[in-house]
Amino acid sequence: MKKKDKKGFFMWSKHGLWIAAMLIVIILPFFFRSGFSRSMLSQIGIAIIFALSYNMLLGQAGLLSFGHAVFYGLGGFFTIHILNTVSNGVITIPLELLPLAGGFGAVIVGLVFGWLSTERAGTPFALISLGIGELIAASSLMFPSFFGGEQGISGDRMTVFALTGIRFGKQITIYYLIAFWAFLSIVLMYLLTQTPLGRLANAVRDNPERASFIGYNPHWVRTLQYALAAFFAGIAGGLFAVNYEIVTAETVGFIPSGNVLMMTYIGGVGHFFGPILGAVLVTFMQLSLANMTHAWLIYFGLLFIGMVIWAPSGIAGIIMLHEPVWKAKLMKRLIPSYALAVFPALILFLGTVMFIEISYHLSLSVDPTAPMHLFGIHFRAQSLFPWGITVFLILIGFGLLQRAIKRVRQSWGEVNLIMKKESS
């Protein structure tokens, strides 16, 4: 690229990724017109904020929390209560700003819990977060006036006046509201990583001892980071309230806490955009895969364990592993070996899917005696033949994959060697 061009495209080269993301977000609902996919996109937007806020703890501050949904849920409850207060005409806040109520509510609780739980990181923090999560989840049923008991608290967003004058009835309008907040939150959370507190959160994660000898109290750094993470989780919860117009006790519970951990980890904690990928993938899997197969929990569990064992840096880590190779224009050396690996990986995948589906069909399906169909083929699960094929596919796939992996390693070795030579 010529220098002149570079200057002309300054906006693009520096902010290109952001602009592209914004455009995608704006045009997406035109490709996905059904109510279901728009609802899913809305849920994905909420999940992205939630997962990124979680990564402010796990990725950036090294705090493994088992109770992050406390803030998600509380944010939702604060928002729905404020929404109802607004509906009753006691105060006036436009609908577009209601998620902030969740954020500010959560940040206050976050400061208290943060102070109590972050004196030490590591296991003590993880256990305190687990305990606080259990306590809040249990008390959610004990305080029905705030949590609404089992029924939850519901509201009607149509009764609240909107700043933009839009009637927030249809899903598409809410989608854009969520998209706006998600985009704003992503930008803010990204910028936060560049602030003194953001840098110090990293410092405290890597070496709390040293951080205290440059004047910082690690406890305070963690507390503030924790409270800010709570803020964004609260915003996500607030959007949840506006989107579904109901908030129930399940939102503060262990399930969303576990979900956000999985999203973030699968996406990758080491890179800012990792949790975004994780939120998209996991939400998609939960909503769509569950429609395709009732065995989806097994696939999900296998995916999670697989990521922990083989790709602890997540999807983002795998992608970023290729950054230097891409920059050195050496991808063409890796691609052939990848292409070779795709085929056996597919066979192994096919075999595994068949194995799980057949076992599931026999054991837990509605009618095990009925013929089952998989990939358009109908067969009887009771006969030995499909089992034979399954075992055959798994063995062949596994064997070939071992060899393919060897090839991939080899080409990686070559690429690394070339890059080393070039840099020196």
Partner 1 sequence: MFKKFVSVLMGVGLLLMMSSGVIAAETVKIGFLDPLSGPFANVGDAGYKHFKYAADMINAQGGDQRFEIVPFDSKLSVSESLIHLKNAIDQGIRFMTHGTGSNISGALIEAISKHNERNPDQQVLYLNYSAVDPALTNEGCSFWHFRFDSHSDMKLAAITDYIKDQKNIKKVYLINQDYVFGHAVRDASIAMLKAKRPDIEIAGDTLHPIGKVKDFSPYIAMIKASGADAVITGNFGSDMSLLVKAGKSAGLNVQYFTFYAGGIGSVPAIGEAGVGHVKQVTEWHNNLWFEENKPDDEKYFMGYNRKYGGEGKAPFFFLRIRTMMEMMDKAIKKAGSADAKNVAYALEGMTHKTPYGTVTMQASDHQLIQPLYISTLSNAGTKTVKYDVENTGFGWKTDKRIEADATAMPTTCKMEKPAR
Partner 2 sequence: MSLPAVKLTDVYKSFGKSRIINRVNLEINTGERHAVIGPNGAGKSTLFNLISGFYPVSSGRIELKGREITNLSSHQINRRGLSRSFQVTNIFPKMSVFENIRCALLWTTGYRYSFWHLCGRLKRLNEKAEELLEKISMTERRHVPAGLLAYAEQRALEIGVTIAGDADVILLDEPTAGMSRSETERAVSLIREVTESKTLIMVEHDMSVVFDLADRISVLVYGEIITTDSPDNIRNNTRVQEAYLGKESA
Partner 3 sequence: MLEYIFFSTINSLLYGMLLFMLSSGLTLIFSMMGILNFAHASFFMLGAYFAYQISQFVGFWPGLVIAPLLVGVLGALVERYGLRSVHKHGHVAELLFTVGLAYLIEEIVMLIWGRNAVPYQIPNILDFALVNILGTDLSAYRVFMLVVSIGMFIFLFLVLTRSRIGLIIQAALTHPDGVSTLGHNVPGVFMLVFGGGSALAGLAGVIGGNYLITEPSMAAHLGPIVFVVIVVGGMGSLTGAFIASLLLGAIQTFAVGVQVSLSDLLALFGLTPEPSGLLKDFLRIQISHTGPILPYLFMVLMLIFRPKGLMGKRET
Determine, following the binding rule CB under 8 A, whether residue 209 of this chain makes contact with partner 2: yes
Selection from partner 1, partner 2, partner 3, none that 196 binds (CB < 5 to 8 A by kind) is partner 2
Interactions with partner 2, residue window 188-207 (CB under 8 A): 191-192, 194-200, 202-203, 206-207
Selection from partner 3, partner 2, partner 1, none that 327 binds (CB < 5 to 8 A by kind) is partner 1
Residue count, binding to partner 1 (CB under 8 A): 62
Interactions with partner 3, residue window 280-319 (CB under 8 A): 297-298, 300-302, 304-305, 308-309, 312
Beta carbon of residue 158, minimum distance to partner 2 (angstroms, whole number): 36
- CA 400, 305, 298 angle in degrees (round to 5)? 90
Torsion of CA 114, 249, 42, 50, to 10 degrees: 20
- Cβ distance to partner 2 smaller for residue 221 or 394: 221
Selection from partner 1, partner 2, partner 3, none that 122 binds (CB < 5 to 8 A by kind) is partner 3
User: Binding marks (x or -) toward partner 3, 36..75, rule CB under 8 A?
Assistant: ----------------------x-----x-----------
Beta carbon of residue 27, minimum distance to partner 3 (angstroms, whole number): 36
- Cβ distance to partner 2 smaller for residue 224 or 341: 224
Beta carbon of residue 200, minimum distance to partner 2 (angstroms, whole number): 7
Selection from partner 3, partner 1, partner 2, none that 5 binds (CB < 5 to 8 A by kind) is none
For residues 183 and 236, what is the distance between their CA atoms, to the nearest angstrom? 12
User: Binding marks (x or -) toward partner 2, 227..266, rule CB under 8 A?
Assistant: -x--------------------------------------
Q: Which of 200, 163, 185, 173 is nearest to 62 (CA)?
A: 200
Selection from partner 1, partner 2, partner 3, none that 377 binds (CB < 5 to 8 A by kind) is none
Residue 398 exposed, middle or buried by CB count within 10 Å (0-12, 13-18, 19+): middle
For residues 344 and 205, what is the distance between their CA atoms, to the nearest angstrom? 40
- What's the gap between Cα 58 and its chain centre? 12
Token representation of residue 141? 């049923």
Length of the chain: 424
* 3-state secondary structure at position 372: strand
Are 77 and 243 within 8 A, CB to CB? no
- Cβ distance to partner 1 smaller for residue 168 or 226: 168
Interactions with partner 2, residue window 75-104 (CB under 8 A): none
Strand ranges (DSSP E) for 242-360?
A: 246-247
Indicate which single residue of 13, 139, 217, 416 sits in contact with partner 3 (rule: CB under 8 A). Answer: 139
Q: Residues 197, 199, 200, 201: is their CA dihedral positive or negative?
A: positive
Q: Residues 199, 262, 256, 188: is their CA dihedral positive or negative?
A: positive
Q: Which residues pair with 133 in a beta bridge?
A: none
Q: What is the DSSP letter of 247?
A: E
Token representation of residue 354? 């068949």
Beta carbon of residue 314, minimum distance to partner 2 (angstroms, whole number): 16
Residue 41 exposed, middle or buried by CB count within 10 Å (0-12, 13-18, 19+): buried
Are 105 and 74 within 8 A, CB to CB? yes
For residues 380 and 395, what is the distance between their CA atoms, to the nearest angstrom? 22
Q: For the chain, how big is the Rg over CA atoms in Å? A: 24
Token representation of residue 410? 């080899």
Beta carbon of residue 423, minimum distance to partner 2 (angstroms, whole number): 12
- Cβ distance to partner 3 smaller for residue 38 or 361: 361
Q: Interface with partner 3 by CB under 8 A: which residues?
A: 58, 64, 116-117, 119-120, 122-124, 126-128, 130-132, 134-135, 138-139, 142-146, 258, 261, 265, 297-298, 300-302, 304-305, 308-309, 312, 359-360, 363-364
Q: Interface with partner 1 by CB under 8 A: which residues?
A: 16-17, 20-21, 24, 28, 31-32, 34-40, 43, 138, 141-142, 144, 149-152, 154, 156, 158, 169-171, 240, 244-246, 248-251, 255, 273, 276-277, 280-281, 284, 286-288, 290-291, 294-297, 319, 323, 326-327, 364, 366-368
